[in-house]
Structure 1
Amino acid sequence: MKVLRGTEGMSTIMLAVPSLSADAVYDRLTQQARVIVDTRRTPPAGLDDADLAVVTTDTRTVDQLRADLAVDMLLTGHPTTDPTRDTDGTAVLGAIHAKVQIVIPVLALLGVTDEPATLEGNGPIDATTARRLARTTRSPWERILTHPITGAVLHTDTYQRPAAIDRHLRARDRHCRFPGCRIPAVRCEVDHTIDWAHGGPTETRNLAHLCQRHHTMKQFTPWRVRQLPDGVLEWTSPTGTVYVDIPTAYPPAVAFAPSIDSAADAPF
């Protein structure tokens, strides 16, 4: 841990922690910041004039809110900047838990191999850590079945239930589906490609993850998108330029040995 002194009375706190912990902390702070932003837009009923003035005049950005929330929790153990806390002192934000998406190859989970797992939005983590998390987690596991050759998502548990559709979409999309955006799906919103109000069905072929920024952009700007088979999204910019975003396939679960002919051509 380091403290870097800046100018105008500001400093930077740097923490070197495991990527899993860093991602979970950032996710929790982001969720808390969004609650405050939403509260500014629609203040809860029952606030007195003083509290209402605090809520409606708050102009901090999401990054500033993350920083303030982190300081409050480190110093006091709870986010005191939460304007929605109850009169008994129970902060609503304190009930928010970070959610981290980890993909573990089944053979690595069983201990047959040591191939790394994937921490979505960050990178690989070692198989030992992944197995330890698998043994200790209290959350239900989400089974994802992929094609052994292409890595494409085929099925996730019981497909008919809405919760299963969400699991399928998280597994398929993995991140925001706007071209170039890599915000993890667990921090995105599920959007109807064809709006529900315009007859768009709630089916995987009409749903995709978009971060809050690109979800808003799709709704309120001239950007247009249509969903093609296999979850491919075709975006059209206001100038008419077309961008295609294809779901990222998982690595193949089966590795094939080279053919006999290929082995004979090898230099050794």
Structure 2
Amino acid sequence: MVGAVVELEFASRFPDVLAGGLEVSAEALAGPGGTARALHALADFDAYSAALRAVLVDRLAAEIAEEPLEGRHGQPTRLSGNIAHAVAVSELAALQGTSEHTAARALNFSTALVNTHPAVHEALASGDITEAHARALVDQAATLPQHAAEPYALEALARVRTRQGRLRTPGEFRALARDLRERLHPGSMAHRRAAAREDRRVWLQPEGDGMCTLSALLPAETATGMYERTDALARAARRADGEARTLAQLRADALAHAVLGARERTAAAPSAAVPFPEELLAEVKAEIVVHIPLAVALGASDAPAILDGHGAIDPATARALAAAAPTWQRLFTDAEGTPLALGRTAYRPPAGLRRFLQYRDGACRVPGCTRPAQNTEADHTTEWQDGGTTDAANLALLCPQHHALKSLALHHLTHDRTTEDTDGTDGTGTPAPALIWTTLLGQALPAEPLDRDHVLAPRATDHPPRGPSGKPATRGEPPGTPAHGADVAVREESPPPF
């Protein structure tokens, strides 16, 4: 049974900028094929909206480029001298509530679409292609020399439909555009390959349920060889008696085994055996940071822990990682050994204070920036040359790009004097200062520390750990008895409590 037709109407929240409205015709929807026609109409509107957004994003970048961007005097060259682009990306991310990576892609796409590929922009505005088609074309054209980009785009655009007139799907068109680019590129394949090798890299994408996707951009022959070797190991292991893992699972485990350098199994084990992921935890040599509520570390709670750079992990894995760690480190307040306030006696925070800031802030403090704490720089909110102190209350972690924007006085990070400093204690007992990030165009956003409460906050079913008195531990207990819910990093030379 088809549901009742609902009249839908759109009116902008900014009628002074976006005039008029949209209304779905209930009569048209009720007729034969009405729903299909409505979806076609909406696809046209989506394409037009994308084309208009590209014009506005390009205009925003042009307006920022016209602003005086010299910034604070006496600063070294930052952001490779391309300050206007960095500011535009930051502004766009704040405006649209996206990451700066997404904002940078949107800015680069919009600038190229409007200025370099007007025919593609026109096709998008008219609904002849979708935004996905336009992105596939612009992405491929961006890798061509400037004089070859527009002719390539015109030829690719002419092939967006099949010989019978069907609009190719974005996936089909992306493959076609990639192959066409290889044929029309004026440079030699050898030179292009040498340049492309400079972009090789590895990156990590967190997934759900304690999993991650590990990706690598490598030369084709290297990656193919790695895959064939991994596949051969997996197929050999699959022939072992009692092996129940799928071939896909064995490939993943063989790759983890190869990278982590697991010790050889006993002589009685088959030479082609591939360890299970759990057997590799003890082989992790790189320093990793796990935030574990004490109740979880002691086995009194099955709440999740946090693996820095990923997110929530199950308590059993957290305990196994903690047990395999060669040393533990624990963060204390200043009364227990970590200096949190140096005043004007030193400019650079010492290692203990830096570690405290990494734990407290968790990531770059700029709203929407997810750069992890270990890849950030400690910044004086009130600049050192302006009388700022090297204290936890005057220090915040910023990624290099946002640190540069603040140092150039193009964006500003200031204390929020209207809010009590109660943000983000996360069990440290020392609150993070309430800060405001203000962009060049005046957007003012709260600059908060990483929120871990959704994972680490104690639950009603958790049993609080006991102090020496036998009563639930509190912050008044002696050192070595952390507050309930406090994260572990652990006192060195202390063995794990399990």
Residues of 2 paired with 1:178 and 1:17: CA distance?
A: 21
Over 3 Å counting, the alpha-carbon distance change for 1:157 and 1:98 in structure 2 is farther
After the TM superposition, which residues 5-44 of structure 1 pair with which residues of structure 2 at under 5 Å, given as runs?
8=182
**Amino acid of the residue matched to residue 183 of structure 1?**
R
Over 3 Å counting, the alpha-carbon distance change for 1:119 and 1:16 in structure 2 is closer
Residue 255 of structure 1 is matched in structure 2 by 459
Residue 194 in 1 paired to residue 373 in 2? no
Render the CA deviation track for 1:237-259: whole Å, top value 9, x for unaligned.
Answer: 112221112224443643347xx
Render the CA deviation track for 1:87-124: whole Å, top value 9, x for unaligned.
Answer: xxxxxxxxxx8543321111111111222111233221
**Amino acid of the residue matched to residue 203 of structure 1?**
D
The alignment partner of 1:159 has SS state of coil
Residues of 1 paired with 2:447 and 2:204: CA distance?
A: 34
Residue 236 of structure 1 is matched in structure 2 by 438
C-alpha contact (below 8 Å) 1:121/1:175 kept by paired residues: no
Over 3 Å counting, the alpha-carbon distance change for 1:219 and 1:130 in structure 2 is same
Residues of 2 paired with 1:205 and 1:227: CA distance?
A: 9
Residue 293 of structure 2 is matched in structure 1 by 105
The alignment partner of 2:303 has SS state of coil
- Taking only aligned residues, the RMSD between alpha carbons, in angstroms, comes to 4.3
Residue 325 of structure 2 is matched in structure 1 by 137
Residue 245 of structure 1 is matched in structure 2 by 447
C-alpha contact (below 8 Å) 1:156/1:164 kept by paired residues: no
Higher helix share: 2
Residue 130 of structure 2 is matched in structure 1 by none
Residue 182 in 1 paired to residue 361 in 2? no
Residue 159 in 1 paired to residue 338 in 2? yes
**Amino acid of the residue matched to residue 127 of structure 1?**
P
Residues of 1 paired with 2:205 and 2:450: CA distance?
A: 28
The alignment-based identity, stated in percent, is 31
Render the CA deviation track for 1:148-201: whole Å, top value 9, x for unaligned.
Answer: xxxxxx779523263332232112211100111011111211111122232211
C-alpha contact (below 8 Å) 1:155/1:168 kept by paired residues: no
User: TM-score by structure 2 length?
Assistant: 0.31
Structure 1: give runs of 5+ residues left out of the alignment: 27-62, 76-96, 145-153, 258-268
Residue 205 in 1 paired to residue 407 in 2? no
Residue 104 of structure 2 is matched in structure 1 by none
**Amino acid of the residue matched to residue 237 of structure 1?**
T
Over 3 Å counting, the alpha-carbon distance change for 1:13 and 1:121 in structure 2 is closer
Identify the match of residue 119 of structure 1 among 288, 299, 307.
307
User: TM-score by structure 1 length?
Assistant: 0.54
Structure 2: give runs of 5+ residues left out of the alignment: 1-174, 183-192, 227-284, 341-349, 422-431, 462-498
C-alpha contact (below 8 Å) 2:363/2:370 kept by paired residues: yes
State the structure with more CA Rg.
2
**Amino acid of the residue matched to residue 254 of structure 1?**
P
Higher strand share: 1
C-alpha contact (below 8 Å) 2:367/2:445 kept by paired residues: yes
The alignment partner of 1:231 has SS state of coil
Aligned length: 182
